Amino acid sequence: MLKLQAYKVNELKKMFHKNRISNLERTLKTCGVEFKKSGSGENTTYTITAINDELRVFCVSELGFATQTEIRKLTNFLYYFLNVEDFVNLPDQAKEQYMKDSNRYVSRQTIAKYIRKLINANYVARSNDFIYYFVYKGVRKPTDKETYCKAWREYFKDKENGYDSSMAIFNMIANYGGYAQKYAPTEQNAIYAKEINHLNDLVLERIQVLYKENKTQTADRKDKDCRQSVFYFLLKHLTEYFL
């Protein structure tokens, strides 16, 4: 993790996954890192003097996220992923709906990318204990492995009997109330507990900032709407008076 200290250029290149000094410096500036440098070329030394966006720095250097990652979306996702157990055990499609219902929409494709980053960093791993369920029109019905396997055996039997895929799936939905699926939830890697806790602390700090910003924006919108209402009320009555 980046600290307020001096680093050799190759140390920072490795930390931020950059090969060129120009790209490294651009990344540091984008991440809100202030520094002083001495020397030149491969002998350059960077003294980090301020880290203005610690969460972004952590996500870029420790987790391999791109500097242009939309930090607000990532923060909202990490908040649920690190703090809400029910959210962790949901398939990506259900995670998407969960965040949409919470007015913090992130697409399932983006969620999958976020989780892959965490897996690649060894912060989490896929569990071997699958969650089995039937899904129809976005509604999930939990089931067990035996019923899941039975549904798929019947599907393939229908296929052998001449049904096409769509008809075989139709029969599965009719018989079981949905399409049989399974999902491997993620589990946190205890070896990285310290790093995960630090990441969560940064996420919680940022969530508080976002919450205050949302309250301010909401108050500003209400004030603007109120002023517009008063303006149109006066305009209407003044027009009626002079006409």
Q: Please indicate, yes or no, whether residues 190 and 124 belong to a single structural domain of this protein.
A: yes
Average pLDDT over residues 135-160: 95
Q: Please indicate, yes or no, whether residues 118 and 192 belong to a single structural domain of this protein.
A: yes
Q: Please indicate, yes or no, whether residues 122 and 200 belong to a single structural domain of this protein.
A: yes
What would the pLDDT profile of 183-226 be if each residue is shown by its tens digit?
Answer: 999 999 999 999 999 999 999 999 998 877 665 544 445 455 55
Question: Can you tell me whether residue 127 is helix, strand or coil?
Answer: coil
Tell me what percent of the residues of the chain surpass a pLDDT of 70.
Answer: 87
Give this prediction's pTM. 0.79
Q: Please indicate, yes or no, whether residues 124 and 192 belong to a single structural domain of this protein.
A: yes
Tell me what percent of the residues of the chain surpass a pLDDT of 90.
Answer: 80
Q: From residue 178, how far is each of 86, 138, 166, 181 by CA, in Å?
A: 21, 10, 13, 9
Cα torsion at 215, 207, 64, 193 (round to 10°)?
-170
Question: Can you tell me whether residue 84 is helix, strand or coil?
Answer: coil
Q: Please indicate, yes or no, whether residues 119 and 64 belong to a single structural domain of this protein.
A: yes
Average pLDDT over residues 83-102: 92
Query: DSSP assignment of 18-30, as one string?
Result: -SSHHHHHHHHHH
23 against 214, higher pLDDT:
23
Q: Please indicate, yes or no, whether residues 22 and 141 belong to a single structural domain of this protein.
A: no
- Which of 33, 52, 71 is the C-terminal boundary of a domain? 52
pLDDT the model gives residue 227: 58
Q: Please indicate, yes or no, whether residues 63 and 168 belong to a single structural domain of this protein.
A: no
Range of the domain at 148: 131-183
Q: Please indicate, yes or no, whether residues 23 and 143 belong to a single structural domain of this protein.
A: no
Average pLDDT over residues 127-147: 93
Query: DSSP assignment of 197-233, as one string?
Result: HHHHHHHHHHHHHHHHHHHHHHHHHHHHHHHHHHHHH
Q: How many domains does the chain contain in total?
A: 3
pLDDT the model gives residue 219: 43
Assigned domain for 74 exists: yes
136 against 228, higher pLDDT:
136
Instruction: Give residue 6's pLDDT band: very low, low, confident or very high (50, 70, 90).
Output: very high
Residue 229 C-alpha from the chain's centroid: 38
Separation between Cα atoms, residue 174 and residue 176, nearest integer Å: 6
Q: Please indicate, yes or no, whether residues 77 and 119 belong to a single structural domain of this protein.
A: yes
The answer to whether residue 110 scores a pLDDT higher than 50 is: yes
Instruction: Give residue 85's pLDDT band: very low, low, confident or very high (50, 70, 90).
Output: confident
Assigned domain for 1 exists: no
Q: Please indicate, yes or no, whether residues 69 and 83 belong to a single structural domain of this protein.
A: yes
Residue 3: partners with Cβ closer than 8 Å, 6 or more residues away? 48
- Which of 52, 68, 90 is the C-terminal boundary of a domain? 52
pLDDT the model gives residue 218: 46
